[in-house]
């Protein structure tokens, strides 16, 4: 097994990876920016290296600094966590060229999935159902008219380099098409330095269902159920759960097998997430993420497995510990993303944590890197913790979550904790009747 792994990340995910490494007897190296001198991941790792100033671009995103930290410490592998360099093919390639193992999929797989048009083509090759759309890029306004007439309005323009909704434009009628195409192109150019746009049928009320997949790089692949991530605000997930209250187990089995088959045929290595929109009992592929996701603990709870352990094991070449037949989901899990943000605008609320008390007890997992006296720096994402509950069924998970939220104390910064207490009492949440628009409508109602 690897003797030493460097974690190219910060916050709760850095701790999450360190925990598994410790259990596997692997030494850990933390990297940190000047803003994170007192961060918990630095204290929990066996060694640490300062890789630059506070700005992410000069520290957590600095490939040369991270490579140097690997060389200085003799790290054999890098776990990228999520965000930062986790889906950066250039980073994976440079590590490879330095003989350092990137814990994640191969460079070509990261590249393919990073381009949403290539990703769709690849998935279509393996008979994964996709949203009806343009045949690749829209290269002219004539292309756009032809595609839109074929697909039927409303259509959605998307950036090939995109994700996160940037450059996305809903087009309801033909006379808006030219203007919105130009806007999509200019936004995409600005954000990604790439103005490639493609078109899809706009699905009006879908759920966002993602399938967790895992491959060993040699053609063995499994799916680990789904996560319903429909509760989002401005493309930021807020609460995730598994199983989805809106999809039946046999439907998951079908799309899961299709997803695992694609991963197997591709010889994909490591953890991945295949994102679908689900509407009127149909799944439509939209994107694939080639990283461990923020919400992975929901899957870990339901399947009783450690995805990071499996990532490390597959990266080393020891294979996965499970087969599809050995995987059995149990009960229900819900995750709340706790952000240092002030409602109702969700404006960032960095600052000093005066008091922190974590909930506990049966079925509770609190993944966080904050502590009493810790100062949440203003330079990074506002996620300060994830509360994950697991119970025998969804109603019990909801009650357990309400209990855990009552136990949780975070003083000193504003947080999104109270929002969860309110969501849990809503009839449409309790009945599971929600889609990707429900949360924003709920928040708009509350504003009044």
Applying CB under 6 A, the residues found at the interface with ligand MV4 are: 131, 156, 163, 165, 200-203, 208, 232, 235, 277, 286-287, 436
| Integer CA distances (angstroms), 398 to 2, 139, 230, 390, 443, in order | 40, 48, 17, 9, 20
Which residue among 207, 227, 291, 365 is the active-site one? Answer: 291
Between 98 and 235, whose beta carbon lies closer to ligand MV4?
A: 235
Residue with Cβ nearer ligand MV4 (162 or 270): 162
CA distances from 363 to 308, 360, 397, 399, 419 (A): 20, 8, 9, 11, 21
CB of 363 to ligand MV4, least distance (A): 27
Strand partners, 98: none
- Give the 3-state DSSP-derived string for 373-419, with helices as H, strands as E and coil as C: CCEECCCCCCEEEEEEEEECCHHHHHHHHHHHHHHCEEECCCCCHHH
Tokens standing for residue 187: 């936004």
Q: How far is the CB of 226 from ligand MV4 (least distance, A)?
A: 14
Q: Which is nearer to ligand MV4, 411 or 433 (CB)?
A: 433
Nearer to ligand MV4, 109 or 169 (CB): 169
Minimum distance, C-beta of residue 250 to ligand MV4, in the bound complex (Å): 23
Q: Calculate ∠ Cα 219-307-74, nearest 5°.
A: 90
Cβ-based nearer residue to ligand MV4, 206 or 256: 206
State the minimum distance, in angstroms, from the CB of residue 238 to ligand MV4.
10
Looking at the Cβ atoms of 58 and 201, the one nearer to ligand MV4 is 201
Between CA 213 and CA 321 the distance in angstroms is 14
Least distance between ligand MV4 and beta carbon 393 (Å): 25
Tokens representing 176?
């808006």
Residue 64: other Cβ atoms inside 10 A = 10
In Å, how far are 79, 114, 398 from 213, measured between CA atoms? 18, 17, 26
Q: Is 291 a catalytic residue?
A: yes
Please report how close the Cβ of residue 159 comes to ligand MV4 at its closest, in angstroms: 10
Report residue 214 as tokens: 């895992």
DSSP label at residue 362 = T
Nearer to ligand MV4, 203 or 387 (CB): 203
Minimum distance of ligand MV4 from residue 210's CB (angstroms): 9
Q: What angle do CA 364, 369, 375 make, to 5 degrees?
A: 135
Q: 3-class secondary structure for 144-208?
A: HHHHHHHHCCCEEEEECCCCCCCCCEEECCHHHHHHHHHHHHHHHHHHHCCCCEEEEECCCCCEE
Phi, then psi, of 348 in degrees rounded to 5: -55, 140
Identity of the residue, 240 or 306, whose beta carbon is nearer to ligand MV4 in the bound complex = 240
Contacting residues for 6 by C-beta, under 8 A, at least 6 apart = 28, 29, 31, 66, 69, 70, 73, 75, 77, 78, 79
Give every CB contact of residue 359 below 8 A, 6+ residues apart in sequence.
Answer: 366, 387, 403, 404, 405, 406, 407, 408
Residues annotated as catalytic are 291
């Amino acid at each position: 097994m690897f003797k030493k792994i460097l974690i190219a990340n910060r916050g709760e995910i850095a701790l999450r990876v360190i925990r598994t490494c410790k259990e596997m007897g692997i030494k850990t190296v933390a990297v940190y920016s000047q803003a994170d001198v007192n961060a918990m991941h630095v204290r929990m790792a066996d060694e640490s290296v300062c890789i630059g100033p506070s700005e992410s671009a000069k520290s957590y995103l600095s490939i040369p600094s991270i490579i140097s930290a690997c060389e200085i410490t003799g790290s054999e592998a890098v776990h990228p966590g999520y965000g930062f360099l986790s889906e950066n093919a250039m980073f994976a390639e440079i590590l490879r060229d330095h003989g350092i193992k990137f814990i994640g999929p191969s460079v070509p797989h990261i590249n393919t999935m990073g381009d949403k048009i290539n990703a769709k083509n690849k998935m279509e090759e393996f008979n994964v159902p996709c949203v009806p759309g343009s045949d690749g890029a829209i290269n002219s306004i004539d292309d756009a008219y032809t595609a839109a007439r074929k697909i039927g309005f409303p259509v959605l323009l998307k950036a090939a380099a995109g994700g996160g909704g940037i450059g996305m434009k809903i087009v309801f009628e033909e006379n808006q098409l030219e203007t919105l195409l130009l806007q999509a192109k200019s936004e995409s150019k600005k954000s990604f330095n790439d103005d490639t746009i493609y078109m899809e049928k706009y699905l009006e009320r879908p759920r966002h269902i993602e399938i967790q997949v895992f491959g060993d790089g040699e053609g063995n692949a499994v799916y680990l159920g789904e996560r319903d991530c429909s509760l989002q605000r401005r493309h930021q997930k807020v609460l995730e759960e598994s199983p989805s209250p809106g999809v039946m187990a046999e439907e998951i089995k079908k799309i899961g097998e299709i997803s695992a088959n694609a991963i197997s045929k591709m010889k994909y290595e490591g953890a991945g997430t295949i994102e679908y929109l689900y509407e009127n009992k149909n799944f439509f592929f939209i994107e694939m993420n080639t990283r461990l996701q923020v919400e992975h603990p929901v899957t870990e709870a339901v399947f009783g497995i450690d995805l990071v352990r499996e990532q490390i094991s597959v990266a080393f070449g020891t294979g996965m510990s499970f087969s599809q037949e050995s995987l059995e989901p149990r009960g229900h899990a819900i995750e709340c993303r706790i952000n240092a943000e002030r409602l109702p605008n969700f404006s960032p609320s960095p600052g000093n944590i005066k008091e922190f008390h974590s909930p506990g007890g049966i079925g509770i997992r609190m993944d966080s890197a904050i502590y009493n006296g810790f100062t949440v720096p203003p330079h990074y994402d506002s996620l300060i913790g994830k509360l994950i509950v697991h119970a025998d069924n969804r109603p019990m998970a909801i009650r357990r979550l309400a209990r855990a939220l009552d136990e949780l104390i975070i003083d000193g910064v504003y947080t999104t904790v109270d929002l969860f207490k309110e969501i849990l009492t809503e009839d449409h949440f309790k009945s599971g009747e929600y889609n990707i628009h429900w949360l924003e409508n709920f928040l708009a109602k509350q504003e009044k």
